[in-house]
Amino acid sequence: MTRNAVLDFLLTRRSRPAKLLSGPVPDRAGLEELLTAAARVPDHGKLAPWRFIVLERAALARLAGEAAAFAEKTGLAPEKAEKGIGQFDRSPLCVAVVASPVAHDKIPQIEQVLSAGGVCLSLVNAALASGWGGSWLTGWVALDQAFAAPAFGLAEGEFIAGLIHIGSYAGEVPDRPRPDLAALTTWVSA
């Protein structure tokens, strides 16, 4: 019995540190292929309750400036401010995955939000499987609606599910401790 290459990939996949990603980045056709793969997630009702905002270098530089101004205006601690600003300042390419849940009488909002999370993981995995570095981040620049809504042009009820940073990465990624499955798994036989 041989193991499937896809399963081998999933069992050994490791995100690349976003702060260490650099250019080059996928071209538009290459990124569209990654986005197509990311969109193939469970989506009860075919609502596509998410959308993509592709942030290229100039947009990322603008967002870094906006984040710095917001951090200063709101008095964010310097270390916290830098984490958010640095996401934009250092990233060669970022895809903001926007969760856009809609009111639906049969499909609860939580299923739609989980679908957006599935898109985030699928986009990181598509990038990694294609030989790019990828990392899924959030932080205050994604979660603070006072910053994120105007910065990303979010509509009422939308929020950032993830900021997926994509680029080149040279070097080894050390593995990290993994969860103890025995402590997290309950087997039910009857």
Residue 152 and residue 95: Cα distance in Å, rounded? 11
- pLDDT of amino acid 142: 98
Residue 173 and residue 18: Cα distance in Å, rounded? 12
Q: Give the list of residues 6+ apart from residue 20 with CB closer than 8 angstroms, or none.
A: 133, 169, 171
- pLDDT of amino acid 171: 83
- pLDDT of amino acid 81: 97
Taking each continuous run of H as one helix and of E as one strand, the counts in the chain are 8, 4
pTM of the model: 0.94
Q: Both tokens of residue 145?
A: 């609606």
Q: Which whole number is the average pLDDT over 55-75?
A: 98
Whether the predicted pLDDT of 62 surpasses 60: yes
Q: Is the dihedral of CA 8, 23, 58, 56 positive or negative?
A: negative
Instruction: Considering only residues 158 and 5, tell me which one the structure prediction assigns the higher pLDDT.
Output: 158
Residue 108 and residue 152: Cα distance in Å, rounded? 25
- pLDDT of amino acid 60: 98
Q: Give the list of residues 6+ apart from residue 154 with CB closer than 8 angstroms, or none.
A: 98, 145, 148, 160
- Mean pLDDT score of the chain: 95
- pLDDT of amino acid 32: 98
- pLDDT of amino acid 2: 61
> Tell me: the pLDDT tens digits for 141-179?
999 999 999 999 999 999 999 999 999 998 888 788 899
